[in-house]
Amino acid sequence: MRVVLLGFGGKPGVLEGADRLRPVIGQYAEIVAEDFTGTRPLTDLEADLAIVLGGDGSILRAARQMGYHQVPVVAVNLGRLGFLADLTPEELPQLLQQAAAGRVQIREHLMFECRLFRRGREVGCLLGLNETAVLAGPPFALLEIELYIDGELVTTYSCDGLIISTPVGSTAHSLSAGGPILRKELQAFVISPISPHTLTNRPVVDGADRVYEMVVPQPQKGTALVVDGQVVDSLQPGDKVRVERAPVRFRLVQPPGHSYYRTLREKLGWGGRWHPGRPKGIASDQ
């Protein structure tokens, strides 16, 4: 196998982890490239796997680097939470052995394109994995954001911001804003207002085949467009932000023995009273 080794060298423990894991990786694969700056374009790189060291931020950075040439990702958690990065360094040898034998599962996840239009002209296009957000910014007054779906005005939010998230991103910024958890394989977007000024505004889930647009008629000085945690641009009056399904998907290698609900339990403390010693499928009668 040919693999590329990625991570952000500015994060504590990543470079040390790479030094420790290189000999392990070398037993099963050839490392054809490395990047620990997060800046090298990888769209023309020929590799079978991308081994990403770090946390979920490192995975988002790697997805941006790969662009429209998404290579299956093995996500090794060297960070704290690691919702996407769900593999421990100790589990990596077994996974590589199974990958070399062609016995791993690869899950494909929705990605999106975010386009910014100004005075009727497209001035930017970005590929994303988690979410697009319009954030009020200073002076931190309520922002009026118009939401359109397939060209139809849905509503105008009075809020601190609006998030359009993929299922992968539903456990990130959107969850913190009160949005629902979506299973990562779903083909849908969730729209979550941040601190809406009415009790009737609730998160909405709709299909991935629709076109979503946000318009801010009167942005504030600090109002910004943010994609996957990166500030794209400050918004001007009448700017239109369009979000739609990308033609490529993020590809994540599923570690053996890991599952979606196990991740929710262990990473997010989800599920309340879970008893690890109880047989699977047996409910409590307490």
> Which of the residues 35, 56, 160, 228 is marked catalytic?
56
d(CA 213, CA 222): 20
- Beta strand pairing call for 49-54 and 73-77: parallel
Q: Is 209 a catalytic residue?
A: no
3-state DSSP assignment of residue 206: strand
For residue 164, count CB atoms less than 10 angstroms from its CB and return exposed for 0-12, middle for 13-18, buried for 19 or more. Answer: buried
3-state DSSP assignment of residue 26: helix
DSSP, residue by residue, 53-66: EESHHHHHHHHHHH
d(CA 209, CA 128): 16
- Beta strand pairing call for 224-227 and 131-135: antiparallel
d(CA 111, CA 246): 5
3-state DSSP assignment of residue 164: strand
Count of all residues that appear for the chain in the document: 286
d(CA 52, CA 93): 14
* Residues designated as active site: 56
